[in-house]
Structure 1
């Protein structure tokens, strides 16, 4: 089973609050998860971590791992949660060999910031649902993967999960995490999956035909969870500034989403530039380094060549994105990026047609 990676277009940081919007895109680079039934014990392997494989057995319905020091935390969380769903659906748990192969990191293991942990989580849930023949819709897949991912990361909007599940360009509003925490204590998993989650919304967007997405990688990875933690701390220290940022981001994103509905490239570009300024202001009062020197250079070069540019995701490294009219020549832009040590990622948007 495959799950695509993602990139944030706009709305970062504000989207971690329930009901606040972001625009995210799924990409044509994937995590592939395969499962083969086995006897007496199971294994978990990854092409990216060939020196580390996990062997596991069962103690009743619980997975018991022989070596706990492993890079598969999100994957293991997805297994635990999906097997809870399988048990609730009356399935008998089995042994299996699970294999993961990811296109979302470089060959030397560096992360591009394309949501590899989310795609691994989604791919694992999808593969196990098929293996156990469980009833699954995109909404159920999102909720299962979101819970599993949140159990490990502890924060974030789960927009990368949404992009991996629904595909294409999406307008995403996060759900109320506190509500989910309280309901998990009160409700069986199947009932929780059937509920409408407060604040959660996913709208598929159709980009203007002449809109082109360019992606540049700075070569410097960043930790989303750590950066979000720092902004969360700053929010408690300056609540007025933070509330102003949230409202400004919501207004900006609502106009940008309408620009997609209207097919208006000029509006989309204008609001992307404004969202960059809002993130720069957030960085200034939170003291979180969102736009690095390399990302600033990436954006400046793109703006000089007619594109609207900003950081993507939490910033602090990883990728920047450019939205530009297809009629604009980009060869010089890409050459200037290369001169500054910025790698162009030759990726395109992936539209999820079904659950396979």
Structure 2
């Protein structure tokens, strides 16, 4: 790790959910997520007096800040920087517990997770910027870091801004590749934050949390289609949360079906059987559509439905990714099958294939 002087650079990849959406917000329920080769990059450079946070992706450009003792005082609050500020606050809380002296610095953000016009692809940019910021600051302050500690720090920082969600996108940005993710008990974490110091929280096991790296079959090909319409994950999750209380029986049936589906999918990964994975993807699409029906929340938009139907007609399995409502869909297909016709039909229907590949992370210095 680099010390407190000089330019520090860290990056974190974006992600897409493969299966298990919505159910994964419940502690212990499984999902499958993949990290992608598009990144948020953070650079930190020591400064004097005032520091600044700069992002070319944000229209407002930059905010300035200063120190009042060890406290960071932001001169121009802006919600677009909220995840970065939360990550800074949490990492510096951790650094001070380890006896580090607070410094002033400039922080620069560059993201590949949006379209050239600035529209979001739905690749988890808020999670990636949180992870990358914490990674960079841990280098800057020379703090000990493992993937587990990085996940926990980033999960706390992200949750304190967004207030809901599973934090699976954080796990994908930290671990890379294909992962199985089961979310932790967020009520437990909230109680711990009110009673226990941060170092103790991140150094102990979290109830229900499970992150397992997966190996896909060699003949599995992942294709990603973008509908061009952004969606708000937190708003969609809130809508489902409100609706599920009025139909607990249907919701519990959804949870059970999702859990069984993902466990079957995981067997497909363990056995290296792409046909079993394709069956699971099709089943998870059906399960999510049943959730949409009884909650009256639009998960599979007409564009996403068209995207999936075209893929299925071309011998693939497909479904919406993440909260749905727009953004991206994913396709699983045997690598030996041609995809030219599928891609051409997408383009004819204004669906953009994204040239993304899975990003593996072997260590924290990537």
TM-score by length of 2: 0.96
**Cα offset for 1:13?**
0.1
User: Is the Cα contact below 8 Å between 1:303 and 1:309 reproduced in 2?
Assistant: yes
Match of 1:186 in 2: 195
The equivalent position to 2:321 in structure 1, one of 300, 309, 312, is 312
Partner residue of 1:60?
Answer: 69
Aligned to 2:127: 118
Structure 1 residue 184: Cα displacement: 1.1
Write the distance in 1 (CA, Å) between the matches of 2:78 and 2:97. Answer: 29
Structure 2's unaligned 5+ residue stretches are 1-9
Deviation at 1:50, TM superposition (A): 5.5
Aligned to 1:131: 140
- The size of the alignment, in residue pairs, is 356
Aligned to 1:351: 360
- Determine the C-alpha separation between the residues in 1 that align with 2:134 and 2:238: 27
Map 1:74-153; keep pairs closer than 5 Å. 74-153=83-162
- Unaligned 5+ segments in structure 1 are none
Please give the alpha-carbon distance, in whole angstroms, between the structure 1 residues aligned to 2:50 and 2:78. Answer: 18
**CA deviation string 1:301-353 (max 9, x = no partner):** 00000100000000000000000000110001000000000000000000011
2:209 to 200, 209, 214: 200
Match of 1:26 among 35, 39, 52: 35
Q: Does 1:247 align with 2:256?
A: yes
CA distance in 1, matches of 2:70, 2:232: 34
Output the TM-score relative to the length of structure 1: 0.99
Q: CA offset at residue 185 of structure 1?
A: 1.2
Q: Are 1:228 and 2:227 matched, yes or no?
A: no
Distance in 2 separating the partners of 1:90 and 1:290: 47
Deviation at 1:69, TM superposition (A): 2.8
Could you say which residue in structure 2 is the equivalent of 1:215? 224
1:172 aligns with: 181
Deviations 1:50-87 (A, max 9, x none): 64200001122221111113511101000000000000
Distance 1:99 1:344 in 2: 29
Deviation, 1:239, is: 0.8
**Secondary structure in structure 1 of the residue aligned to 2:122:** coil
CA contact (8 A) 1:54 1:70 kept: no
Q: Any idea what SS the aligned residue of 2:15 has?
A: strand
Q: CA RMSD in A?
A: 0.7
Decide whether the 8 Å contact of 1:31 with 1:100 is kept in 2.
yes
Separation in 2 of the partners of 1:69 and 1:310? 35
Runs of 4 or more above 3 Å deviation: none
Alpha-carbon distance, 1:235 to partner: 1.2
1:237-276 Cα offsets, whole Å, 9 max, x none, are 1111111100110000001011101101111000110000
